[in-house]
């Protein structure tokens, strides 16, 4: 069983949505993801300086640790998505991760379109949850 | 230190340098030798060749060379690399032995000395039996040698010495002991370096040559050993490229070895060594990516090679060391100029090292059970005190087969290692690594990584039972997680911190962490919160809290006794907690009902409290402190007896306060400086929760922002009104006390715009609408402060309209008493403004009074005021233009002295109101009036807008004012007022300074006396006066040009003399022939003595034309004469 963990952050970097499979050792995931924000911030600010309009949303592999690979993605409104997978998980290549992010972004846009959703609140949408679960089952 | 087993040997970590031994030097007693030795070893900078020198006695015993093996057929190696080998080649076996010997070429005892030297060389040679070490001889000479080839004796003796010592010519050196010692030494050591290189080259060749004797089945270890040796010798030779090549070969050979449990440690140790060397060389070659790639490969290959399961902690320790030493190499390379980046810096390696150390600690705790005794005899003891080969077990050295020789011994050995591991200060190691990593991440802008590592450090201190340090670290990072709003992480840290606080029995910390863990930011489960809250109340009741779970029993026992002591201690049972920095379980928000209150209204203040904990909380006192402390007495609520104040979980409660402001605080702000809530009571311990300002805590600002954005706000219907929406409550921490609303009416009437210098009248009507007498009515009128700086000087305000005020009148009249106003009374007042400059001005009329009133039964005297402002534009009433013209009304550029001229003034009204010009006058300077009495020509003239009035004065410049070229002429004064103003209102004097005139003096003044008109065919007598204005006699030539319009009689051409200051007269009788304006016959005048004055210049004072009337018919003569 591979670990996979998905997090989303507001532009102020607090978590909007957290889901990890399996659930044990969640705290360690939290720490890993939280520290990965350093790299995200750095990348976002570096990109902002040069080519602001043609920004690639997918940030790629943020940094390798012994145990996990951490991938990042930033929307134009500075909402950050992070996916963490086991280092030993070789089935997920860059392209798969990229399409996962794109899928997430689409369903996040749907969440934002909900006029009852207040930007910045934790996401509790069932539809979003369903899509995330589906994605995790598929890859996990 | 127990960790030293895993330290890399120093001979591995140093930079290998060629080893050269110097003999025959007596550095203790011989000053010359001492100087030579110092020159060799002092100042060894990077530009000198890399050699390590050592002074040895001439008869020093070098390590014995074992007899060379001729065949490897029956040889079975016992290990990979011997522990002594590197040190032997670094420090024991020299590449070159240099014999120093004092001998001059012309030494009288040459023969004896030569043979003594040969003996010494022989001793060294014998000691080096079997080695390829080179020998060289240096002759220390007192004399400077001659250039080569010139000293025949020297070359002859040199060759003799060489042959007697069996040396080649290249190995004999001469060192003259003269001034240039260092220069000679550098040349010498370069020569030594060449010899050393040759030595290492042959050594490498020798090791390489063994290869052909080896076979792959029994000599696998030797393949590694030989590659390693060649690499190391290449390093000694400073051939790092080849060294790297050999090390890489050695590395792949190590992993080809058959690995099993007994030799795993040896393989890993050697792999670690070789990997270290490769990474080091890669960094040295400035190919850091190669180093990183090699290291990754190394880790991937070795990660799973755990070896003996009972000694699994050894593997973690080894892994930790790998990461640590790579981190150190990386860090060193950075210090030498390599640039690292955020995602690839030494910090990651230190962090991973710490991670493995944590694993090691865990495994050690699992594997190393307490209670066993250390086996005797010590299985870790070896006869030599050390190991023969790197990475072998002391109890079975040289053992290379798969199964251990003696299972009993093996067991004892493992037990001994486990017991040793128990004494390792794991936490200390982990903390050191973590703090290294923290330093790195700080450098590479990874604040969150830093925080994370600091949490780990804190936790490690907690495990090491150093609670003070743990709390310090955790406290430090808690803020970061709080501002980042990572509640799960914050909760985890708080939980650890709570454990620390409990174990230390630190009451204040315990209370704070409890409060925050009960708060809304905590992600703890309800039952945990409930337990924590009960503990908190126990502490408040001065009771010992229940032990935290997950703490080990022995520490809990210690903590309990600490708590008992703490509780027994009386006195310090009051503590204040600042809430702003935390997210506590009681939220507080306070607000003034309005951003401002009139002084005659009571100030209302609300404090909202909400508890987030699972059980109701009762408190005994709530106080609000305000910036003016006199009001504080009104803002206290205290529980009285049984009626305690209780907050129900999740239900906001509101406390209202109201007080009457003091009249002297009008215009001031009242601010909430703090809110304090008292938990607990006199019986136990009381905790003051203190909020700065108007409440709110570390998270409330963001929540308020989020709430303000919320769409729910709009959707809320009226049914939810009773239920207070906590999130949308906003703080209002200050209010303004403003004066009572005035009930008087102030009206202004005036006729704008104001005219410059005029006494502009604004009439003010004040009517009281109060129910009681308005006392002490005071008026402040004038220029509103805060306008353009210069306006104050150019505006004057007065109440006296009867005369024009002077410049001393102020711009703002303050506090003019107007007496009392009874209800409904009306009062009028005129204020006069004099504006000296044009432009807009804002005038302020401030009517203040005081009145008695009552608020909530208290009598207060309120000061009220009403302000009215009016903007008045000031314009110039009229423009005065002045010009000088000649008596012929021609504009004058210069005025001739003592010749009359005209001054014309023109007053153009630009005032929108009609102006009455009362009079005008000239105040002359220098010039005088030609007319006996100057009389104003525009007395009582009224000018409408755009109309103008002119005057004309005939003036003359007296003869004696020829001193200066330009002279002031004086001033023109106009007195005026608005036509519509009262007859008794003052006249305004406007003074216009007349322009300066340029004076000129004419040498000759010619003017004519002639009637104002002529008549056709009627005699017209003209008398020309010629005045000499100079002090010389002037000769004048006058000729009269003929004219078609006139016949004339008189001198047609004349030359005459005019004496100084006299005049000559010439009479002509003109006889006009035509009617109308006719040009008079022209006089051509010239002064032969004064050629500069031309005829037109002299002629300008003469009339040019005259009107000639036609001759009337006879019968009408009388009527014409009448005309």
Mean pLDDT of all residues belonging to chain B? 85
Angle at B305 between CA B300 and CA B308, to 5 degrees: 160
B442 in A contact zone (CB under 8 Å): no
- The answer to whether A92 and A85 have CB atoms below 8 angstroms apart is yes
CA pair distance B327, B322, nearest whole angstrom? 9
Q: How far is B318 from chain A (nearest CA, A)?
A: 16
Q: Among all chains, which residue has been given the structure tokens 């007192």?
A: B142
Q: Which residue of B has its CA nearest to A34?
A: B448
Range of the structural domain that residue A26 is part of: 2-136
**B 666-705 near A (Cβ less than 8 A):** 702
Each residue's pLDDT tens digit, B273-328:
999 999 999 999 999 999 999 999 999 888 888 888 888 888 999 999 999 999 99
Residue in B484, B511, B485 with CA at minimum distance from that of residue B497: B511
Q: How far is A105 from chain B (nearest CA, A)?
A: 22
Considering only the beta carbons, identify the residue of A15, A34, A116 that sits closest to B452.
Answer: A34
Q: Which helix (H) or strand (E) holds B516?
A: helix B507-518
Q: Which residue of B has its CA nearest to A64?
A: B343
Q: Which residue of A has its CA nearest to B300?
A: A66
pLDDT of A137:
74
Close Cβ partners of B801 (under 8 Å, ≥ 6 residues apart): B759, B761, B830, B832, B985, B986
More confident residue, B372 or A18: A18
Q: How far is B414 from chain A (nearest CA, A)?
A: 29
pLDDT of B719:
44
- The answer to whether B574 and B686 have CB atoms below 8 angstroms apart is yes
Look at residue B90 and give its three-state secondary structure.
Answer: helix
pLDDT of B325:
94
pLDDT of B1028:
85
CA pair distance B270, B288, nearest whole angstrom? 22
pLDDT of A50:
55
Close Cβ partners of B671 (under 8 Å, ≥ 6 residues apart): B626, B627, B693, B733, B734
Q: How many domains does chain A contain in total?
A: 1
Each residue's pLDDT tens digit, B884-919:
888 888 888 888 888 888 888 999 998 888 988 888
CA pair distance B616, B608, nearest whole angstrom? 16
Distances (CA, A) of B868 to B766, B768, B798: 11, 15, 18
The segments of chain B whose pLDDT lies below 50 read 1-3, 715-721
Each residue's pLDDT tens digit, B174-229:
888 777 888 888 888 899 999 999 999 999 998 888 888 887 778 888 889 999 99
Is residue A134 pLDDT above 80, yes or no? yes
Q: Among all chains, which residue has been given the structure tokens 């102030």?
A: B746
Which tokens is B292 given?
Answer: 């990183």
Q: What is the DSSP-derived secondary structure letter of residue B953? A: E
CA pair distance B747, B845, nearest whole angstrom? 10
Give the residue from B327, B437, B446, B704 with the most A CB atoms within 10 Å of its CB, the best one to mutate: B446
CATH number at residue A120: 3.30.450.70
Mean pLDDT of all residues belonging to chain A? 79
Kindly list the residues from chain A whose CB atom is less than 8 angstroms away from the CB atom of residue B449.
Answer: 35, 38
B355 in A contact zone (CB under 8 Å): yes
CA B1017 to chain centre: 103
Give the residue from A11, A66, A69, A116 with the most B CB atoms within 10 Å of its CB, the best one to mutate: A66
Kindly list the residues from chain A whose CB atom is less than 8 angstroms away from the CB atom of residue B712.
Answer: 116, 118
Count of Cβ atoms closer than 10 Å to residue B786 Cβ? 8
B486 in A contact zone (CB under 8 Å): yes
Confidence of residue A1 (pLDDT cuts 50, 70, 90): very low
Q: Are strands B966-967 and B653-660 parallel, antiparallel or unpaired?
A: unpaired
Beta carbons of B486 and A66 less than 8 Å apart: no
Which contacts of B461-465 are long-range, i.e. CB under 8 A and separated by 24 or more positions?
B461/B427, B461/B431, B462/B496, B462/B499, B462/B500, B463/B427, B464/B427, B464/B428, B464/B431, B465/B503, B465/B555
Kindly list the residues from chain B whose CB atom is less than 8 angstroms away from the CB atom of residue A34.
Answer: 448, 452, 484, 486, 489
Residue in B470, B458, B365, B468 with CA at minimum distance from that of residue B418: B365
B520 in A contact zone (CB under 8 Å): no
Beta carbons of B448 and A26 less than 8 Å apart: no
Instruction: Give me the phi and psi of B927, to 5 degrees please.
Output: -80, 160
Kindly list the residues from chain A whose CB atom is less than 8 angstroms away from the CB atom of residue B445.
Answer: 38, 42
- Could you tell me what percent of chain A has a pLDDT over 90? 0
């Amino acid at each position: 069983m591979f670990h996979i963990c998905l997090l989303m952050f507001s532009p102020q970097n607090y978590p909007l949505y957290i889901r990890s499979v399996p659930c044990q050792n969640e705290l360690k995931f939290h720490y890993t993801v939280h520290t990965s924000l350093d790299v995200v911030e750095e990348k976002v600010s570096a990109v902002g300086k040069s080519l602001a309009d043609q920004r690639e949303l997918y940030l790629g592999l943020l940094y390798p640790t012994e145990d996990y690979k951490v991938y990042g993605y930033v929307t134009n409104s500075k909402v950050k998505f992070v996916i963490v997978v086991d280092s030993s998980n070789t089935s997920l290549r860059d392209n798969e991760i990229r399409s996962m992010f794109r899928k997430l972004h689409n369903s996040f846009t749907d969440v934002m379109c909900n006029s009852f959703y207040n930007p910045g609140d934790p996401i509790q949408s069932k539809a979003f949850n369903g899509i995330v679960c589906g994605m995790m089952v598929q890859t996990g | 230190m127990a960790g030293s087993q895993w330290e890399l040997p120093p001979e591995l970590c140093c930079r290998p340098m060629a080893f050269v031994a110097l003999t025959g030097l007596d550095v203790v007693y011989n000053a010359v030798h001492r100087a030579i030795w110092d020159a060799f070893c002092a100042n060894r900078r990077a530009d000198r060749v890399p050699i390590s020198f050592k002074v040895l006695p001439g008869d020093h015993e070098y390590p014995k060379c074992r007899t060379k093996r001729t065949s490897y057929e029956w040889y079975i190696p016992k290990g990979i690399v011997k522990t002594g080998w590197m040190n032997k080649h670094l420090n024991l076996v020299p590449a070159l032995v240099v014999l120093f010997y004092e001998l001059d070429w012309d030494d009288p005892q040459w023969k004896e000395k030569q043979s003594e030297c040969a003996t010494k060389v022989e001793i060294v040679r014998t000691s080096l039996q079997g080695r390829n070490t080179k020998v060289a001889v240096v002759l220390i000479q007192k004399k400077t040698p001659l250039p080569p080839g010139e000293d025949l004796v020297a070359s002859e003796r040199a060759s003799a010495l060489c042959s007697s010592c069996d040396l080649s010519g290249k190995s004999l050196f001469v060192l003259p002991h003269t001034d240039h010692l260092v220069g000679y030494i550098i040349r010498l050591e370069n020569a030594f370096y060449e010899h050393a290189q040759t030595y290492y080259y042959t050594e490498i060749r020798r090791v390489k040559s063994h290869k052909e004797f080896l076979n792959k089945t029994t000599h696998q270890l030797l393949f590694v050993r030989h590659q390693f040796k060649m690499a190391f010798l290449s390093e000694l030779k400073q051939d790092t490229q080849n060294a790297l090549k050999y090390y890489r070969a050695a590395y792949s050979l190590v992993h080809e070895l058959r690995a099993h449990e007994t030799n795993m440690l040896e393989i890993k140790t050697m792999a670690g060594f070789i990997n270290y060397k490769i990474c080091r060389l890669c960094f040295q070659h400035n190919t850091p990516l190669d180093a990183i790639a090699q290291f990754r490969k190394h880790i991937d290959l070795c990660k799973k090679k755990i070896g003996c399961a009972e000694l699994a902690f050894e593997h973690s320790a080894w892994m930790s060391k790998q990461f640590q030493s790579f981190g150190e190499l990386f860090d060193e390379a950075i210090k030498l100029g390599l640039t690292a980046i955020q995602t690839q810096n030494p910090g990651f390696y230190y962090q991973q090292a710490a991670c493995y150390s944590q694993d090691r600690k865990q495994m050690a705790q699992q594997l190393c059970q307490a209670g066993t005794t250390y086996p005797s005899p010590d299985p870790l003891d070896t006869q030599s005190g050390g190991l023969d080969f790197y990475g072998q077990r002391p109890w079975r050295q040289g053992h290379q087969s798969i199964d251990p020789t003696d299972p009993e011994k093996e067991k004892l050995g493992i037990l001994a290692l486990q017991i040793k591991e128990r004494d390792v200060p794991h936490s200390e190691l982990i903390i050191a690594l973590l703090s290294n990593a923290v330093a790195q991440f700080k450098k590479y802008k990874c604040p969150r990584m830093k925080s994370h590592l600091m949490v780990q450090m804190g936790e490690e201190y907690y495990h090491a039972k150093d609670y003070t340090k743990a709390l310090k670290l955790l406290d430090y990072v808690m803020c970061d997680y709080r501002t980042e709003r990572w509640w799960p992480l914050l909760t985890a840290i708080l939980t650890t911190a709570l454990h620390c606080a409990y174990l230390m029995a630190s009451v204040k910390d315990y209370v704070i962490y409890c409060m925050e863990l009960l708060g809304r930011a905590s992600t703890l489960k309800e039952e945990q919160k409930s337990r924590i809250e009960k503990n908190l109340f126990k502490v408040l009741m001065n009771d010992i809290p229940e032990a935290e779970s997950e703490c080990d029993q022995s520490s809990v026992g210690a903590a309990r006794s600490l708590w008992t002591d703490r509780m027994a201690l009386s006195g310090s049972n009051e503590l204040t907690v600042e809430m702003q920095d935390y997210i506590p379980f009681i939220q507080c928000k306070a607000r003034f009902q309005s951003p401002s209150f009139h002084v005659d209204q009571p100030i209302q203040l609300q404090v909202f409290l909400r508890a987030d904990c699972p059980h109701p909380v009762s408190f005994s006192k709530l106080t609000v402190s305000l910036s003016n402390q006199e009001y504080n007495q009104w803002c206290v609520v205290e529980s009285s007896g049984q009626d305690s104040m209780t907050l129900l979980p999740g239900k906001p409660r509101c406390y209202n306060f109201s007080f009457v402001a003091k009249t002297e605080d009008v215009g001031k702000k009242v601010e909430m400086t703090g809110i304090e809530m008292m938990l607990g009571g006199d019986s136990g311990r009381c905790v003051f929760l203190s909020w700065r300002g108007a409440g709110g805590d570390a998270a409330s600002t963001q929540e308020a922002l989020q709430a303000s954005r919320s769409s729910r706000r709009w959707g809320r219907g009226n049914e939810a009104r009773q239920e207070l929406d906590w999130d949308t409550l906003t703080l209002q921490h200050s209010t303004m006390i403003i004066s009572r609303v005035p009930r008087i009416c102030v009206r202004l009437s005036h006729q704008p715009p104001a005219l410059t210098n005029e006494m502009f009248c604004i009439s003010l009507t004040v009517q009281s609408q109060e129910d009681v007498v308005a006392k002490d009515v005071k008026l402040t009128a004038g220029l509103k402060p805060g306008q353009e700086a210069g306006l104050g000087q150019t505006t004057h305000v007065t109440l006296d309209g009867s005369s024009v005020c002077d410049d001393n009148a102020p711009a703002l009249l303050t506090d003019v008493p107007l007496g009392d106003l009874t209800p409904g009374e009306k009062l009028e007042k005129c204020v006069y403004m004099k504006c000296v400059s044009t432009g807009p001005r804002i005038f302020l009329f401030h009517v203040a009074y005081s009145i008695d009133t009552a608020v909530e039964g208290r009598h207060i005297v309120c000061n009220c005021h009403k302000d009215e402002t009016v903007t008045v534009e000031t314009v110039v009433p009229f423009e005065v233009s002045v010009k000088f013209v000649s008596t012929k009304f021609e504009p004058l550029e210069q005025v001739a002295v003592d010749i009359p001229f005209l001054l014309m003034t023109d007053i153009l009204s630009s005032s929108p109101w009609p102006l009455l010009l009362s009079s005008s006058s000239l105040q002359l300077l220098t010039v005088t009036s030609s007319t006996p009495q100057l009389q104003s020509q525009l007395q009582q003239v009224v000018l409408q807008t755009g109309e103008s009035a002119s005057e004309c004065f005939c003036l003359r410049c007296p003869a004696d004012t020829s001193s200066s070229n330009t002279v002031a002429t004086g001033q023109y004064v106009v007195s005026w007022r608005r036509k519509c103003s009262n007859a008794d209102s003052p006249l305004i004097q406007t003074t216009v300074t007349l322009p300066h005139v340029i004076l000129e003096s004419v040498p000759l003044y010619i003017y004519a006396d002639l009637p104002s008109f002529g008549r056709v065919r009627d005699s017209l007598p003209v008398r020309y006066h010629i005045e000499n204005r100079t002090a010389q006699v002037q000769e004048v030539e006058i000729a009269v040009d003929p004219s078609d319009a006139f016949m004339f009689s008189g001198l047609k051409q004349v030359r005459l003399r005019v004496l100084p200051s006299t005049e000559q007269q010439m009479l002509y009788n003109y006889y006009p022939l035509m009617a109308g304006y006719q040009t008079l016959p022209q006089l051509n005048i010239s002064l032969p003595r004064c050629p500069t004055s031309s005829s037109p210049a002299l002629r300008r004072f003469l009339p040019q034309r005259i009107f000639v009337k036609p001759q009337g018919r006879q019968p009408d003569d009388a009527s014409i004469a009448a005309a």
